[in-house]
Structure 1
Amino acid sequence: MNRWHLSPGGPRSPSSSSFHDSRPALFSTSELREHGGPHRIVIVGGGAGGLELAVHLGEQLRKLRRREAPAEVVLIDAALTHVWKPWLHELAAGTLGGHDAGVEFLQQARRHNFRFHLGTLESLDRARHELWLAPLVDDEGTEIAPRRPVAYDTLVIAVGSIVNDFHTPGVAEHAIALNSAADATRFHRLLLAACARAEVRSGGPVQIAIVGGGATGVELAAELIESVHAIAGLGTELRQEPQPVQLRLIESGDRLVSALSEDISRQAREDLEARGVEVLLGRRVTEVAANHVVLDGHEVLPAELTVWAAGIRGPEVLEKLDGLELNRSRQLLVRDTLQSTLDADVFAMGDCASCVPEAGAPAVPPRAQAAQQEARYLADALLRRLESRPVEGFRFHDRGSLVSLGSRDAVGRILGRMPGHGVRLQGLLARWAYWSAHHAHMVRLQGALRTAWDQVGNWIDGRTQARVKLH
């Protein structure tokens, strides 16, 4: 198990062959930058892990206010609002409650003692300890801020992941990938337009194809069935259809949500099929067009809307980080201390990082719970680094997985602290456990009282407003 040590003897650059070196090199904090100010920790990416890291670090540094602060924390994100990524499928379907739609980064920064910059990572200059942000433009294309550098002493990259299209023709032009809240919002607008066309033209059900039977595809399918039924119930023509939406879930593997056990996978499939979802297993999409998808064997399936949810990879910007090592999925290779293999001052966490904690062990999975555990680990480890104290390497503790199957159902397994022990959950109890993960995340961001008030607001909204947003 790796331990850091901060020697005053200057920098040493670890090679890629020393991935499991028991003595990873680190720069001495006094040699990083000669700016005379506090040590600057820059976090790029405000997802579940990045934002929680900024909050934890900011709060811990606040406790040191009586003496000179040893560090400052800067969070950078391309959006002004943080949205819980596991709920993008609800945002896409229009069923996400208003109080759950997101929290403002600027508000979080003010409350939790860190700074926020709006911007998109463009490149990295490791020799100068600078990252560069792309020009900032508004919705009209007007430049608000030019391309600009941000200096760092310690850099944490938490830019998440994007969907892997596997170079399939037509995906970029005709399919939607739920990589961000903006993508989910765009899909919801297209969904409303498709429902409106079906209502006006009386042309039969809305045709939707979801490519990828992982958690995102399964959860989106369940949510869309409820959403379109609710929308159809408000009209006159579409409501006459026995099934207002014809939804196909296409998976190249032999079962859904393969990361979970076979019994849970089977239950998820049976639940979706009972709701009218056509599940196609062992089929691969070879092309996506404007109004259909093509399967292997040249079978053509109609689809007004296509969602691509088959696999993930790191964002393209990771290829512009001054030569840092990537794997085949374009994730940054990191040690068990979450330091990149070629630069001890650059850390990576969450979906954009590939961490193998121990030789022969599986990589840390790309899940929200892993990013949150890494955030808590780094919050402690980075402060220990400033004080030249050693720290153990990161270890992921799997707490289980749950898959949402609509507003009142879910299925999955909760694992205990003892390996191999767990409890299978289904129905409302599983849905409550699924919801509680987000609830715990919000408590960490804004406290128990404010989170409770937001939940009261959601409860009221659920009884006074339509289940699905129509805008």
Structure 2
Amino acid sequence: MVAGGGAGGLELVTKLGDTLGRSGRATVTLVERSRTHLWKPLLHAVAAGSLRRSQHELNYLAQAHWHNFIYRYGEVIGIDREAKELKLAEMLDEEGRQITPATSVPYDTLIMAIGSVTNDFGTPGAAQFAVPLETPEQASRFNRRIVNACLRANTQPEGPRPGQLHVAIIGAGATGTELAAELHHTVRDVVGYGMDRINPARDIHIVLIEAAPRILPALPERIADATMELLVALGVEVRINARVAEVRADGVVLSSGELIPSELVVWSAGVKAPDFLADFGGLEVNRINQLLVTPSLQTTRDPNIFAIGDCSSCPREGYPNPVPPRAQAAHQMATHIIRHIEPIMQRQPIPPFEYRDFGSLVSLGKYSAVGNVMGYAVGRSMFIEGMMARLMYRALYKMHEAALHGRSTVFWRALLNSIGSHRPTPSVKLH
């Protein structure tokens, strides 16, 4: 059983369903609280309105049917390790009616792949006034807020009030930085559809706030410097060494007491594993609720429970810090489980997981992309930018699609899309 249908979890059940499920050697089950899957690195584009969810979402029920695994709609809330049962919460619809009851699902081998959630560190007002970007629903919610704010401002006789169309992005990691660049283009496109009372140069302002001494603190400095240069050229205000003390309806208050006016706030600073893992059957966790695992990806207190991706803390030999919470790590962990599924099923030891850092890429929308690639393969980091980096960023997504649908399906789908309908459509999402 796999809990969590993110990049790693969905790739895992798809491959296991195609082998073990198809042959009848095992029942492969996915437990997931969402109905559809969207590759998480695309969330910033959904929030900005440059990407439509419907064109990239995958339905879990359909994927389960096509690839011989069982999809259980439900939210994990606990575990009974002695009975080997996973506890699921009652699921309700928008009107409060029950969809599925609270229940317990038995497992033989459990793989936790439930990802991470935003960590606002208890900052006052963050939960009320800032929108996190953990799910497609939250990304769509922020996009609607931007479009509504523009429509609202354009109906005001006096035009936008100060800060009404300012966007404050808290956290200059990959998500926050990519969103800042993407928004610079898309908000101006939205205004360009007849909103003549809004002056983009005067009324629209994007502020990127980071507590660390530089943006993209987890990535190589050369990538951060190149990205910073482009953001400044776009007119994005970047505030480093700036800690947020409070989020209010009218803006963000820094620890210095300064108020940054903004009625649109995104929180993308910090992640943690879901809170329920802090007391998850007595399994060992760290300070941000990640399950501690051995080099074989088995939890330290139960060899029948594995953890992969953002919800796990896996030691990395020769490095002081564990495997980083990145999409490529989740993909590699899922691949490790797939390769060694036979000894796992037979309760035999498996080799330790080895994380290989193949580099980092940051997409800056229509403007550019920067990154370093092939650091492991050639023994050093190779810096790339521009068209080459953009093509490689797209290739990463195509690799994820190929893991879910097969290479031939992805190829023919891309070909058909390139010669498909060319009816006029807005360049950004307007609703």
2:135 partner letter: S
Match of 2:218? Answer: 259
Distance in 2, matches of 1:243 and 1:267, equals: 26
Match of 1:228? Answer: 187
Aligned to 1:89, which of 11, 35, 44?
44
TM-score (norm 2): 0.94
Matched, 1:451 2:405: no
Matched, 1:464 2:419: no
Matched, 1:358 2:317: yes
Larger deviation, residues 212-221 vs 257-266: 257-266
Larger deviation, residues 264-273 vs 375-384: 375-384
Shift of residue 306 of structure 1? Answer: 0.7
| Structure 2 residue ranges without an equivalent (≥5) | none
Match of 2:271? Answer: 312
Match of 1:80? Answer: 35
Distance in 2, matches of 1:316 and 1:169, equals: 18
Shift of residue 256 of structure 1? Answer: 0.7
Larger deviation, residues 93-102 vs 268-277: 93-102
Match of 2:155? Answer: 200
Alignment of 1:275-294 (within 5 A): 275-294=234-253
Alignment of 1:324-339 (within 5 A): 324-339=283-298
1:137-195: per-residue Cα shift (whole Å, max 9, x none)?
11111112211110001111111001111111110111111011111111111111111
Shift of residue 337 of structure 1? Answer: 0.8
Matched, 1:298 2:253: no
Q: May I ask how many residue pairs the two structures share in their alignment? A: 426
Alignment of 1:142-157 (within 5 A): 142-157=97-112
Matched, 1:405 2:386: no
Flag the 1:98–1:211 CA change in 2: closer, same or farther, 3 A: closer
SS at match of 2:195: coil
TM-score (norm 1): 0.87
Alignment of 1:168-247 (within 5 A): 168-201=123-156, 202-203=159-160, 206-238=165-197, 240-247=199-206
Shift of residue 98 of structure 1? Answer: 5.4
CA RMSD between the two structures: 1.8
Matched, 1:346 2:301: no
Matched, 1:126 2:81: yes
1:433 partner letter: M
Bigger relative CO (Cα 8 Å, ≥ 6 apart): 1
Q: Residue 153 of structure 2 contacts residue 198 of structure 2 at CA under 8 Å; is this kept in 1?
A: no
| Structure 1 residue ranges without an equivalent (≥5) | 1-41
Flag the 1:203–1:461 CA change in 2: closer, same or farther, 3 A: farther
Shift of residue 436 of structure 1? Answer: 0.6
SS at match of 1:256: coil
Distance in 2, matches of 1:419 and 1:274, equals: 33
Shift of residue 452 of structure 1? Answer: 2.9
Larger deviation, residues 455-464 vs 434-443: 455-464
Shift of residue 136 of structure 1? Answer: 1.1
User: Segments of 4+ in structure 1 off by > 6 A?
Assistant: none
Using the aligned pairs only, state the percent identity. Answer: 42
Alignment of 1:49-68 (within 5 A): 49-61=8-20, 65=23
Shift of residue 62 of structure 1? Answer: 5.0
Distance in 2, matches of 1:388 and 1:345, equals: 8
1:311-334: per-residue Cα shift (whole Å, max 9, x none)?
111111212311111111211100
Q: Residue 163 of structure 1 contacts residue 309 of structure 1 at CA under 8 Å; is this kept in 2?
A: yes
Match of 1:141? Answer: 96
Alignment of 1:381-460 (within 5 A): 381-387=340-346, 389-418=348-377, 420-456=379-415, 459=418, 460=420
Distance in 1, matches of 2:300 and 2:318, equals: 15
Q: Residue 335 of structure 1 contacts residue 357 of structure 1 at CA under 8 Å; is this kept in 2?
A: no
1:31-82: per-residue Cα shift (whole Å, max 9, x none)?
xxxxxxxxxxx1010000000010111122156x2xxx33211001111111
Structure number, greater radius of gyration = 1
